[in-house]
Structure 1
Amino acid sequence: MARGFETKCLHLEEEEGDCSHFGALSYPIYQTATYAHPGVGQSTGFDYSRLQNPTREHLEKIVASLENGIDAFAFTTGMAAITMLMELFAPGDHLIVDEDLYGGSIRLFSHVSSKNGLTFSSVPCHAVNVEDYIQPNTKAIYIETPTNPMMNVTDIAALAQVAKKHDILLIVDNTFLSPYFQNPLDLGADIVIHSGTKFLGGHNDTLAGFLVTNREDIRERFRFLIKTTGAGLAPFDCFLIQRGIKTLGIRMERAQANAMEIAHWLQKQSCVTEVIYPGLKSHPGHEIMKKQARGFGAMLTFQVKNQAYAYAILGKVRMIKYAESLGGVETLLTYPMTQTHADVPDEIRRKNGITECTLRMSVGIEDVKDLLAELKKVFAEAEQKIEG
């Protein structure tokens, strides 16, 4: 019988009935760099923590289970995961990437991966026929859905058919929805990425990244690469991410419910010119999201009248924090122009819709009445300051 998601967040089926580790309910932190051997040619199963550590292995099995993959790999950050992912490719290889991506990913591709001989075509994957951009040396399609920060939604299953037709990889960054709401591997993707810092960890207290796959050949390559590059997640950080995952389901439900209420409230504000949230029926990706995901998530973006309003709102929030991250229990407001996408060339930012008027909100699990009360106060103060 298939396990429910919340149960998989708490229990590995293979370990049920096992009272090893002295019966500890919280999986132990194996804070060790190396391991003793019983004898020559004998091993406990662990040799050196750069290769693998029991705490990391336990976390990786949980994340693989949540994404319905055969293996997961835990890294020091989300960017460390993407950096190692690029080691699948060789100089001269070409990748199609969504043009609206997290600024750190764009920076990596533009300044590091390109230096190493990879070439990229940045296209709006949700709005074009991606097949038209495939070249003889194309090896992969790389997307976020929804994208960061403009919340564009791409049909994963349709893109997977294109990828399989041309024998190229489909890579999906699933950070915004988490495995609670979306499982790209089930829709035909080959590799799933997570910034574990975000919804998986959920408490803004540690950094982590994950790669998950359901292909044996990729699994073997990743296992070789993670031990070779040495970017595996440390035991204590693995413990923190495991602890966060235990409440992933209930956090995502509460944060999504809050996001929906806030999105509807923002639509009624005179200083807001656009609210971009896939849960709204007006969002062009709404029906695709209903088809491929089990929810709409807790991320939303909105545009205000002008830069003055954006600055005033950012300067007046108090309970809501003006901070650069997402996916935690606290509600955060981010200014992509100077934070997440500061290193993206201005012409690319503007082409993607990111302007001085763009604000991105990661909605937390506070009482929504308190969030709305703060927003009402902040918006009223901002209007008074600007309009007089």
Structure 2
Amino acid sequence: MSKRHIATAAARAGIAKDPAYAAVTPPLYLSSTYELTAFQQPGAYDYSRTGNPTRDLLAEALIELEEGAAAIVTNTGMSACVLVLQLLTANDTLVIPHDCYGGSYRLFINLSQKKQAFKLVIVNFQQSDWSEQVRLAKPALIWLETPSNPLLQITDIQAVCQLAQTLAAKVVVDNTFLSPILQQPLLLGADIVLHSTTKYLNGHSDVVGGAVICADEQVGTELAWWANCLGLTAGAFDSYMALRGIRTLKPRLQLQQQNAAKIVAFLVQQPLVAKVYYPGLVDHPGHGIACRQQQGFGAMCSFELAAEVSSLSHFFAALDIFTLAQSLGGVESLICHPGTMTHASMDATAQAAAGLTPTLIRLSVGIEQDSDLIADLEQGFAAVAKLNGLATTQAAQNNESLTLNPALNVLW
């Protein structure tokens, strides 16, 4: 049979692959250890940190979805990051984007500064001279996050990979925001793809996990050794749940993208929105690149509230459906304030350099009815408008009382 369509591969992740009893749904192997067939004759599995049948089914599904050669399933998205960094030595240079996820940024900064695990260079891939910045850094590894979190900035993966080849550098792409349904970085030249499976791949906000998919089997073998050595591999139950989630990935993302597009159209019309960040907008700086390298614009968007920071608590308190919480990619719609939540580990200087303003709000759009989601946001904006109206009225009253006071006539 020819290569399956990605939608089919996702829907059948782990299906009908039970070698023991021919179960259609993949079985859950919770055993921590496995019996040897005889002395010094281990079977395919001996200890679940090293190998687990359920986890291997998830790895196989991810290999097919990302069109890679090897995959390692980890216990968190951050452990997937830690795993990839094992490819570096103290003399190697890692290039990262200036606006990467706050948790990743914290990891990179502290490992390079406190542990001298590698040299670190931060590059703004949105600047016209990004290629020269990368070339001067002479990196061993280039880390990309596109679309970026939370400003949805787009980096040209193919262009970076072409440059990396001339520098003998590897490229890793964090594909968490889009999933392989909407973007396949390995096909664009990347060496490694990374996921927080907690997000879109699982899609139900009930497990935490990560994954690393490699274009080269040898690199995968090396990273699998490190994953076992460091104890970074995922448990069977979390792997089972992620497999279940992947089987509904395509229809979930289709509906989430439809809802996101309608919410973005609503946001751009709002007087209390200063700016909307979404690569699906034709005036987005990365729109053209996104059209070339993505199969959709995703279901994440961010916007700047055109009000004082003090208005944020009123905006969030007025919401009934959007839940104020970290994470993303679940069937439920979430809202967060990156500056104090997902990117709180970045200091004020780093946040400013990344373009994070104090009133930036990020949305992870779910599968609820679009009209309900828009009505919910309208409640938030109404609360801010009411607050601003009260402030304006109070200011006017204060000015009037000042002008009516004879003792203050000299000021007017």
Q: Same fold (TM over 0.5)?
A: yes
In the TM superposition, 1:86-101 aligns within 5 A as 86-101=85-100
Bigger radius of gyration: 2
| Structure 2 match to 1:132 | 132
Classify the secondary structure of the residue corresponding to 1:122.
strand
Which structure 2 residues correspond to residues 108-257 of structure 1 after superposition, within 5 A?
Answer: 108-117=107-116, 118-133=118-133, 134-135=135-136, 138-257=139-258
CA contact (8 A) 2:49 2:231 kept: yes
Offset at residue 345 of structure 1 (A): 1.3
Distance (whole Å) between structure 2 residues aligned to residue 367 and residue 171 of structure 1:
36
Are 2:372 and 1:385 equivalent residues in the alignment? no
Query: For residues 88 and 79 of structure 2, what CA distance do their matches in structure 1 show?
Result: 16
Unaligned runs of 5+ in 1: none
Partner of 1:316: 318
CA positional deviation for 1:319 = 1.2
Q: Is the 8 A contact 1:302 1:359 kept in 2?
A: yes
2:269 corresponds to 1:263: no
Q: For the residues of structure 2 that align with 1:138 and 1:45, how far apart are their CA atoms?
A: 38
Quick one: distance in 2 between partners of 1:23 and 1:160? 42
Decide whether the 8 Å contact of 2:86 with 2:223 is kept in 1: no
Provide the rounded CA distance (Å) in 2 between the counterparts of 1:296 and 1:12: 24
Offset, 1:137: 5.2
In structure 2, what is the Cα distance between the partners aligned to 1:191 and 1:20? 30
TM-superposed CA distance for 1:136, in Å, is: 6.9
Give me the identity figure in percent.
Answer: 36
Q: In the alignment, does 2:25 pair up with 1:23?
A: no
- Residue 76 of structure 1 corresponds to which residue in structure 2? 75
* Shift of residue 115, structure 1, vs aligned partner: 2.5
Q: Is the 8 A contact 1:271 1:309 kept in 2?
A: no
Q: How far off is 1:223 after superposition? A: 1.4
What corresponds to 2:393 in structure 1? none
- Which deviates further from its counterpart, 124-133 or 262-271? 124-133
Question: Counterparts of 1:301 and 1:89 in 2: how far apart (Å)?
Answer: 33
Structure 2 length-normalised TM: 0.91
Superposed displacement of residue 23, structure 1 = 2.6
Distance 1:301 1:136 in 2: 31
**Distance apart, 1:112 and its partner CA:** 2.4
Corresponding letter in the other structure for 1:218: V
> Aligned in 2, Cα 1:226/1:167: closer, same or farther, shift over 3 Å?
same
User: After the TM superposition, which of the residue ranges 67-76 and 182-191 deviates more from structure 2?
Assistant: 67-76
CA shift at 1:387, angstroms? 2.1
Provide the TM-score with structure 1 as the length reference: 0.96
Q: What is the CA-CA distance between 1:33 and the residue it aligns to? A: 1.1
Whether contact under 8 Å (1:196, 1:210) holds in the other structure is yes
Q: Deviations over 1:223-248 (max 9, x none)?
A: 11111111100001111111110100
Distance 1:129 1:68 in 2: 31
**Cα shift at 1:310:** 2.6
User: How far did 1:122 drift?
Assistant: 1.0
Deviations 1:112-140 (A, max 9, x none): 24323212111111324333233475201
Q: Distance in 2 between matches of 1:170 and 1:44?
A: 35
* Cα distance in 1 for residues equivalent to 2:352 and 2:136: 27
Tell me the CA shift for residue 42 of structure 1: 2.4
Moved more, 113-122 or 222-231: 113-122
Secondary structure of residue in 2 paired with 1:143: strand
Unmatched 5+ stretches in structure 2: 391-412
Aligned to 1:106: 105
Distance 1:174 1:12 in 2: 19
Secondary structure of the structure 2 residue equivalent to 1:232: coil
Quote the Cα distance in structure 2 between the aligned partners of 1:11 and 1:269: 42
Deviates more, 1:117-126 or 1:290-299: 117-126
| Bigger shift: residues 303-312 or 64-73 | 303-312
Name the stretch that deviates more: 341-350 or 34-43: 34-43
Secondary structure, in 3 states, of the residue corresponding to 2:21? helix
For residue 373 of structure 1, the aligned residue among 361, 372, 375 is 375
Per the alignment, residue 351 of structure 1 pairs with 353
What is the count of residue pairs matched by the alignment? 386
Aligned to 1:61: 60
